[in-house]
């Protein structure tokens, strides 16, 4: 009897392991998770890459923002709807009539992890450091700021050179993180090795290329809501290895699940998947006129980078028409992502029909555009791609699709940092690259499409687009901005400096034992209210 | 003798200097601006220039080199461009990890290599020899990354008896440590086992064919006694030196093995360092490897010259 | 003793082709080595004839027929882009064999002359030996990864990276053999007979060093094939859409659950090929080893 039961259990296990049908009742996936959580425990998180400096002023990597979320809160934050809400600030920013003074009220009585008190002077110190420290990665985000004044102990006023609508969004990111002035003085340029801010957790230790540990901060104003004693972030670059660690129980949370692992993850009763639509996009940037380097005036391309795609907008349109975004999504990403034709997420409140307009896959139209342009077929063009398996697969799929219309794409796999360097200098024809995305659409548009923009590696320049972007920055009226961004995108799409391809999803694998993990569109992992479920 | 030691010391010093030059220039020949790599997704010309200045990357290459060597000799390998932690400290964390992994892999390799080597030499031209050969050579014929993934799937996921990743120091918790080391040790050791098998086998064959073994047999000593008491003992000297010189192979294996098993050691630092263009980190890592290699070579040569003075004539040929 | 050495060495020098033929016969008496040789020959033929044998072009995609299991139409199934896996394995075999052979050829072309010079001319020896030592001080993968990063991933890069990393071993073996042979009496006799340096190196030393080099090469070819696989794993292998066995294996890794056949076939192919090479190499080494002759 006993043996029989054991055999039956084994059979069930085998069936559940092999099929994707869920016969058990796992923790809710993506739905509300209201299980009671117990206090204590260590959460182990697998990150896909090593964060850089743990200094909000100097940090540049995307993955670092997840660590900061645990230890460094900001003046503002976003909620699950990506609306901006006060975090260390007590209220939304008050903007003066001319739009050039922004007053921010602060919460009172908050303590940094070192026990010192946060006040307006600390906020001014932090913002000034973000703006002026040598090597600061925040200077361009805060370039519109002219100065910061302490109004009283709980109020600061930010003076702007010109009205800048995205400011609140900027202060909801690293530029809004407030550091302990005492720690800044004590540690000088070593702040990154022991950052002190306000957060549910405080920095504990870091072993390079291996792990970062944070522990519960008793000084935190909401410490009563924090369940976990400790969070350990492990760095595991290879996606299969990362997934194996989640399945074997060596970690409880997995950042960036590979699209190819999603089905297996869903099938595993011990795991669940959290998803959110990414704020960013992936696409192909066409080098139109980047002859002098990014940020410089556009020039005329020379060999070997000049070519029909750079020269003729019709050929860029033909290239886009020959792409089948749905097929790419199905074949390369197992249908997990969604096709994208513009820089703004459809979830953004500033999105519009114009922002999401998308041409249909049409090989015949592509062919006729090519014959109108009078180029010899096949049109040869080189495309820089990444070196990992997924990037190669995407490149191969694109190559196969555009071949039907008459393009002969040479794939040039290039290691990431080398590719950035090379494309900044304009040494490329096509580059498959994306952007992680910002809450305010300005962060997805201005640097990429404005003439001499800091990320405009295409060398694209259209005075109309420049002026529309500036107008959208200067107004805080939502419907006006929505309309302006729609116009920007319509014009820029027609010029084809960036061929948008797809919008990824943030995919987070979580052990069923864990509850309270939050994942919003910004892709940042939030563990402030996470914990082990009672009974796990 | 004294002159030989002196000569080898001078030679090693020359090699060391050449190695530092190669490291220094080689790292700078890597494409991709390290400053751009530091800047990551974002890009701001002003900030880039400041990073360049902060890391002394705007100086002439000769100045940078002299400065680098001067500091390295004082044990200062600089600070990692990415994490701003001292490189020497980071390597200090990683080195014991890799040494423990390597030591364990070596045990695995010696166990497999010696046993298959002995079987292959004693049971000549039988199915046992062929089986032993094939087993040992299999380790040399499977791509390490694939083998690694397969054992994880088998022993950590399908039959979860061992952890899929991580590392626990042997000195803090021996049992946990061995559990963590077993899979990476097996994967890393299997490639070396074949090398040891080959050496053991040929050394054993030579020993078994030599006069003193024949004498021992003539004196009526039994098979096992001859094999283990005499032939094996004499073969071990050769095998030991070969094992000592497998450092290079071991480090290449470590790079992939640590990547797959997420072991926070030397190999993982190397790959991550190269991928993030962390110049100070790569320089430090390769410098430590090269120094270790040169030192071990020197040591083996000197040891040999004591054991067998004839070696000196031929120099350091293996 | 001296007399005896002279005769053996002279016979060896005179009868090199014959002795190698005999060695080959001895290899084939070793069943493992014989099987190894057969597998290697089949693999090389398949690689050379890939254009004729393969039922599809290696880059013909068919999104509608992606991830199909093995069938009469697609013997090894199809991959995530619907490409015929059997054809890709054949072309992958070609790339892997190509990298193996070409990189070893490169290391021989550079390493043998340097080794001969180093062993023959005492004054050159310190220079070449220090350079060799320096190169040896860098682990193979570090060198290969560095070179692949500098030159950008491609078949040529992988070949050069692996070939360069193998040069020191070739120099060392050649130098050692040259030193050994130069001390032989038959070489001294040739010198007394008025033979110039060139003649000595070409006629008397190189032919006798070949055995040691063959043995070294049989170790290096499978190592190079696996080296390419590791470079592919690190994203530094061939340019897509060109397949290599290692590249197929590393990209299939993430598709393991959807298409196990994608892992199995290239995996089996690469293991069989390298194992066969290693088995044949070991057999050859035994057969060429003079000590084995006596037994």
**Chain C residues inside the 8 Å CB shell of A256:** none
C223 SS3 class: helix
Looking at residue C14, its pLDDT comes to 38
CATH code of residue C99: 1.10.3720.10
**Chain C residues inside the 8 Å CB shell of B209:** 291, 294-295
Beta strands in A403-513 (DSSP E): 407-413, 430-435, 498-503, 505-511
Nearest CA to A449 among A298, A328, A303, A316?
Answer: A298
Cβ of residue B315 closer than 8 Å to a chain C Cβ: yes
- C68 in a structural domain: no
By C-alpha distance, the chain A residue nearest C80 is A331
Cβ of residue B220 closer than 8 Å to a chain C Cβ: no
With beta carbons less than 8 A apart as the criterion, state whether A89 and A106 touch.
Answer: yes
Looking at residue B282, its pLDDT comes to 82
Q: Give chain C's largest Cα–Cα span.
A: 76
Cβ of residue A50 closer than 8 Å to a chain B Cβ: yes
CB environment B246-284: b (16+ within 10 A), e (fewer): bbbbbbbbbbbbbbbbbbbbbbbbbbbbbbbbbbbbbbb
Residue with tokens 């000084």: A219
| CB nearest A240 (choices: B47, B149, B163) | B149
- C91 in a structural domain: yes
User: Helix/strand/coil (H, E, C) string of chain B?
Assistant: CHHHHHHHHHHHHHHHHHHHHHHHHHHHHCCCCHHHHHHCCCCCHHHHHHHHHHCCCCCCHHHHHHHHHHHHHCCCCCECCCCCCEHHHHHHHHHHHHHHHHHHHHHHHHHHHHHHHHHHHHCCCCHHHHHHHHHHHHHCCCCHHHHHHHHHHHHHHHCCCCCCCCCCCCCCCHHHHHHHHHHHHHHHHHHHHHHHHHHHHHHHHHHHHCHHHHHHHHCCCCHHHHHHHHHHHHHHHHHHHHHHCCHHHHHHHHHHHHHHHCCCCHHHHHHHHHHCCCHHHHHHHHHHHHHHHHHHHHHHHHHHHHHCCCHHHHCCCC
Domain count, chain C: 1
* C-beta atoms of A249 and B160 within 8 A: yes
- C66 in a structural domain: no
Per the prediction, chain B carries an average pLDDT of 78
Give the distance from CA B262 to its chain's centroid: 17
Give the distance from CA A514 to its chain's centroid: 24
Residue with tokens 């670059």: A237
With beta carbons less than 8 A apart as the criterion, state whether A178 and A88 touch.
Answer: yes
CA-CA-CA-CA dihedral for B98, B104, B110, B112, to nearest 10: -120
Radius of gyration of chain B (CA): 24
Range of the structural domain that residue C96 is part of? 3-59+76-293
B56 min Cα distance to partner chain A (Å): 13
B27 min Cα distance to partner chain A (Å): 13
Domains in chain B: boundaries = 94-277+295-307
Indicate the pairing of strand A253-255 with strand A271-277. unpaired
**Rounded-to-integer distance, Cα C147 and Cα B26, Å:** 9
Give the pLDDT band of residue B278 (cuts 50, 70, 90).
confident
Cβ of residue C66 closer than 8 Å to a chain A Cβ: yes
* C-beta atoms of C233 and B31 within 8 A: no
- Give pTM, 2 decimals: 0.83
* C-beta atoms of C153 and A399 within 8 A: no
**Rounded-to-integer distance, Cα C43 and Cα A67, Å:** 51
**Rounded-to-integer distance, Cα A94 and Cα A104, Å:** 7
Q: For A419-433, B56-70, B133-147, B178-192, which range has the lowest pLDDT when averaged over its residues?
A: B56-70
* C-beta atoms of A389 and C240 within 8 A: no
Is pLDDT above 80 for B209?
no
Nearest CA to B12 among B260, B297, B275, B229?
Answer: B297
Main-chain phi, psi angles of C259, to 5 degrees: -145, 80
Which of C134, C219, C281 should one mutate to test binding to chain B, selecting the residue with the greatest count of B CBs within 10 A?
A: C134
Q: Which residues pair with A514 in a beta bridge?
A: A532
CATH code, B94-277+295-307:
1.10.3720.10
Cβ of residue C294 closer than 8 Å to a chain A Cβ: no
**Element (DSSP H or E) covering residue C68:** none
Half-sphere exposure of B175 (CA within 13 A, CB side): 0
* C-beta atoms of A208 and B32 within 8 A: no
Percent share of chain C, pLDDT over 90: 29
**Rounded-to-integer distance, Cα C80 and Cα A364, Å:** 26
| CB nearest A208 (choices: B83, B160, B166) | B83
Half-sphere exposure of A129 (CA within 13 A, CB side): 23
- C82 in a structural domain: yes
**In the 8-state DSSP scheme, what is residue A93?**
P
**Rounded-to-integer distance, Cα C257 and Cα A268, Å:** 13
- Digitized pLDDT (tens) for each residue of chain A, 536 residues in all: 344 344 333 333 333 333 333 333 344 445 557 789 999 999 999 998 888 889 999 887 888 999 999 999 999 999 988 889 999 999 999 999 898 999 999 999 999 999 999 999 999 999 999 999 887 888 888 989 999 999 999 999 999 999 998 999 999 999 999 999 999 999 988 899 999 999 999 999 998 778 899 999 999 999 999 999 999 999 887 788 889 889 888 999 999 898 888 988 999 999 999 999 899 999 999 999 999 888 889 999 988 999 999 999 999 999 999 999 999 999 999 899 999 999 999 988 899 999 999 999 999 999 999 999 999 989 999 999 988 888 999 999 999 999 999 999 999 988 777 788 788 889 999 999 999 888 899 999 999 999 998 889 999 999 999 999 999 998 989 999 999 999 999 999 999 999 999 999 999 999 999 999 999 988 899 999 999 998 77
**Rounded-to-integer distance, Cα B73 and Cα C137, Å:** 18
**Rounded-to-integer distance, Cα B75 and Cα B88, Å:** 7
A79 SS3 class: coil
A454 min Cα distance to partner chain B (Å): 6
Looking at residue B47, its pLDDT comes to 66
Write out pLDDT tens, residues C213-264: 888 888 889 989 988 888 888 777 888 888 999 889 888 877 777 788 888 8
With beta carbons less than 8 A apart as the criterion, state whether A299 and A291 touch.
Answer: yes
Cα distances from C294 to residues B71, B210, B215, B233, C291, in angstroms, run 58, 12, 19, 23, 6
**Chain C residues inside the 8 Å CB shell of A418:** 149, 152
With beta carbons less than 8 A apart as the criterion, state whether A506 and A275 touch.
Answer: yes
C176 min Cα distance to partner chain B (Å): 6
Other Cβ atoms within 10 Å of A11 Cβ, number: 10
Other Cβ atoms within 10 Å of B33 Cβ, number: 21
By C-alpha distance, the chain A residue nearest B263 is A210
Radius of gyration of chain C (CA): 22
Other Cβ atoms within 10 Å of A31 Cβ, number: 8
- C71 in a structural domain: no
Residues of chain A in Cβ contact (below 8 Å) with chain C: 239-240, 258, 260-261, 263-264, 327, 330-332, 385-390, 392-393, 395-397, 399-400, 411-415, 418
Cα distances from A9 to residues A2, A26, A270, in angstroms, run 11, 17, 16
Give the pLDDT band of residue C25 (cuts 50, 70, 90).
confident
Which of C40, C118, C141 should one mutate to test binding to chain B, selecting the residue with the greatest count of B CBs within 10 A?
A: C141
Which long-range contacts does A7-16 make (Cβ < 8 Å, 24+ apart)? Answer: A16/A267, A16/A269
User: Helix/strand/coil (H, E, C) string of C244-282?
Assistant: CHHHHHHHHHHHCCCCHHHHHHHHHHHHHHHHHHHHHHH
With beta carbons less than 8 A apart as the criterion, state whether A523 and A28 touch.
Answer: no
Q: In chain A, helix, strand, coil percent, each to 5?
A: 35, 20, 45
Alpha helices in A113-198 (DSSP H): 120-132, 167-170, 181-187
One DSSP character per residue, A314-336 reads HHHHHHHHT--HHHHHHHHHTT-
Nearest CA to A295 among B40, B48, B51?
Answer: B48
CA-CA-CA-CA dihedral for B229, B230, B234, B240, to nearest 10: -20
Q: How far apart are the first and last CA of chain C?
A: 20
Q: Which two tokens stand for residue B25?
A: 């220039």
* C-beta atoms of C282 and B133 within 8 A: yes
ipTM of the complex: 0.80
Q: Which two tokens stand for residue A469?
A: 């972007």
A463 SS3 class: helix
Q: Which residues pair with A385 in a beta bridge?
A: A413
**Element (DSSP H or E) covering residue A45:** strand A42-47
Domains of chain A by start residue, with CATH: 3-197+506-533 (3.90.76.10), 281-503 (3.10.105.10)
* 118-147 in chain B: CB under 8 A from chain C: 130, 133-134, 137-138, 140-146
Q: Which two tokens stand for residue C68?
A: 């199909």
Looking at residue B38, its pLDDT comes to 61
Which of A210, A258, A389 should one mutate to test binding to chain B, selecting the residue with the greatest count of B CBs within 10 A?
A: A210
**Rounded-to-integer distance, Cα B135 and Cα C280, Å:** 15
């Amino acid at each position: 009897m006993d043996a029989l039961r054991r055999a039956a259990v084994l059979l069930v296990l085998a069936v559940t392991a092999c099929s994707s049908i869920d016969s058990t009742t796992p923790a809710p996936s993506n739905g509300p998770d209201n299980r009671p959580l117990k206090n204590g425990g260590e959460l182990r998180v697998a990150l896909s890459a090593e964060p850089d400096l743990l200094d909000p002023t100097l940090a540049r990597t995307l993955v670092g923002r997840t660590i900061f979320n645990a230890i460094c809160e900001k003046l503002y934050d976003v909620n699950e709807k990506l609306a901006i809400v006060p975090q260390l600030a007590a209220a939304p920013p008050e903007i003066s009539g001319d739009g050039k003074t922004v007053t921010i009220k602060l919460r009172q009585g908050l303590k940094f992890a070192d026990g010192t008190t946060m006040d307006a002077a600390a906020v001014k110190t932090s913002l000034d450091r973000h703006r002026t420290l040598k090597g600061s990665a925040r200077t361009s985000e805060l370039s519109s700021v002219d100065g910061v004044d302490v109004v009283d102990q709980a109020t600061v006023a930010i003076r702007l050179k010109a009205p800048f609508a995205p400011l609140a969004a900027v202060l909801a990111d690293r530029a809004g993180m407030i550091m302990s002035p005492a720690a800044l003085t004590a540690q000088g340029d070593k702040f990154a090795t022991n950052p002190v801010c306000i957060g549910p957790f405080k920095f504990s230790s870091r072993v390079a290329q291996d792990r970062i540990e944070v522990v519960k901060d008793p000084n935190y104003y909401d410490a009563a809501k924090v369940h976990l004693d400790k969070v350990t972030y492990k760095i595991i670059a290879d996606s299969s290895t990362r997934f194996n660690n989640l399945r074997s129980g060596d970690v409880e949370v997995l950042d960036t699940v590979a699209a190819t692992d999603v089905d297996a993850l869903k099938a595993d009763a011990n795991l669940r998947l959290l998803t959110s639509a990414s704020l960013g996009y992936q696409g192909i940037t066409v080098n139109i006129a980047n002859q002098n380097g990014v940020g410089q005036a556009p020039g005329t391309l020379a060999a070997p980078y000049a070519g029909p795609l750079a020269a003729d907008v019709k050929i860029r349109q033909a290239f886009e028409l020959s792409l089948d975004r749905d097929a790419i999504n199905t074949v390369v990403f197992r249908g997990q992502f969604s096709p994208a034709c513009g820089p703004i997420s459809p979830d953004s409140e500033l999105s519009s029909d114009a922002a999401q307009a998308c041409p249909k896959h049409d090989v015949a139209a592509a062919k006729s555009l090519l014959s109108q342009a009078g180029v010899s077929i096949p049109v040869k063009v080189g495309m820089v791609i990444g070196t990992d398996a997924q990037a190669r697969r995407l490149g191969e799929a694109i190559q196969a699709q555009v071949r039907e219309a008459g393009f002969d794409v040479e794939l040039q796999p290039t290691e990431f940092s080398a590719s950035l360097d090379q494309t900044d200098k304009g040494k490329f024809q096509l580059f498959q690259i994306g952007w992680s995305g910002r809450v305010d659409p300005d962060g997805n548009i201005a640097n990429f499409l404005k003439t001499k923009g800091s990320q405009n590696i295409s060398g694209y320049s259209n005075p109309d687009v420049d002026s529309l972007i500036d107008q959208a920055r200067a107004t805080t009226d939502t419907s006006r901005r929505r309309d302006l961004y729609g116009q920007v995108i319509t014009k820029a799409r027609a010029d084809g400096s960036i061929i948008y391809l797809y919008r990824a999803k943030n995919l987070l694998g979580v052990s069923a034992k864990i509850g309270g993990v939050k994942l919003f569109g910004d892709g940042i992992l939030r563990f402030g209210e996470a914990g082990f479920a009672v009974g796990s | 003798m004294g002159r030989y030691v002196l000569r080898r010391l001078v030679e090693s010093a020359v090699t060391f200097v050449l190695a530092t030059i190669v490291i220094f220039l080689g790292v700078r020949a890597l494409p991709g601006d390290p400053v751009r790599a530091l800047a990551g997704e974002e890009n701001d010309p002003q900030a880039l220039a400041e990073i360049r200045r902060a890391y002394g990357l705007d100086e002439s290459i000769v100045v940078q080199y002299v400065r680098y060597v001067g500091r390295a000799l004082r044990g200062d390998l600089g600070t990692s461009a990415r994490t701003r932690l001292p490189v020497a400290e980071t390597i200090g964390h990683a080195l014991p990890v890799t040494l423990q992994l390597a030591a364990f892999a070596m045990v695995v390799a010696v166990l497999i290599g010696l046993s298959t080597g002995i079987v292959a030499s004693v049971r000549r031209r039988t199915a046992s020899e062929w089986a032993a050969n094939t087993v040992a050579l299999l380790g040399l014929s499977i791509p390490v990354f694939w083998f690694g993934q397969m054992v994880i799937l088998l022993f950590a996921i399908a039959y979860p008896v061992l952890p899929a990743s991580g590392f626990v120091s042997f000195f803090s918790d021996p049992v946990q440590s061995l559990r963590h080391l077993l899979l990476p040790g097996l994967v890393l050791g299997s490639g070396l086992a074949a090398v040891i098998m080959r050496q053991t086998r040929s050394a054993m064959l030579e020993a078994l064919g030599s006069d003193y073994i024949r004498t021992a047999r003539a004196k009526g000593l039994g098979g096992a006694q001859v094999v283990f008491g005499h032939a094996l003992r004499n073969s071990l000297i050769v095998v030991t030196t070969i094992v000592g010189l497998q450092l290079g192979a071991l480090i290449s294996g470590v790079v992939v093995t640590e990547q797959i098993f997420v072991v926070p050691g030397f190999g993982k630092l190397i790959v991550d360092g190269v991928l993030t263009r962390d110049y100070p980190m790569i320089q430090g890592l390769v410098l430590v490897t090269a120094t270790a290699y040169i030192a071990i070579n020197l040591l083996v040569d000197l040891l040999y010259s004591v054991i067998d003075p004839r070696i000196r004539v031929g120099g350091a040929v293996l | 003793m001296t007399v005896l050495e002279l005769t053996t060495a002279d016979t060896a020098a005179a009868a090199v082709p014959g002795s190698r033929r005999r060695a080959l016969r001895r290899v084939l008496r070793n069943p493992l080595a014989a099987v190894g040789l057969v597998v290697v020959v089949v693999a090389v033929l398949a690689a050379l004839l890939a254009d004729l044998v393969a039922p599809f072009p290696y880059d013909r995609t068919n999104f509608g027929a992606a991830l199909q299991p093995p069938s009469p139409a697609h013997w090894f199934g199809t991959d995530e882009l619907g490409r015929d896996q059997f054809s890709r394995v054949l072309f992958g075999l070609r790339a892997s064999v190509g990298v193996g052979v070409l990189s070893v050829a490169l290391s021989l072309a550079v390493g043998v002359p340097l080794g001969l010079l180093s062993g023959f001319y005492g004054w050159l020896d310190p220079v070449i030996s220090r350079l060799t030592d320096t190169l040896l001080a860098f682990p193979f993968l570090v060198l290969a990864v560095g070179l692949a990063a500098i030159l950008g991933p491609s078949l040529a890069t992988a070949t050069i990276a692996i070939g360069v990393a193998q040069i020191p071993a070739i120099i060392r073996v050649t130098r050692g053999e040259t030193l050994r042979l130069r001390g032989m009496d038959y070489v001294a006799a040739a010198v007394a007979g008025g033979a110039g340096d060139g003649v000595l190196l070409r006629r008397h030393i190189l032919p006798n060093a070949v055995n040691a080099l063959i043995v070294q090469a049989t170790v290096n070819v499978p190592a190079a094939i696996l080296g390419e696989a590791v470079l592919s794993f690190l994203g530094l292998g061939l340019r897509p859409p060109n397949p290599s066995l290692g590249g197929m294996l590393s990209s299939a890794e993430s598709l393991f659950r959807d298409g196990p056949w994608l892992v199995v076939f290239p995996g089996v192919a690469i293991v069989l090929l390298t194992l066969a090479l290693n088995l044949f190499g070991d057999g050859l080494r035994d057969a060429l080893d003079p000590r084995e002759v006596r037994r």
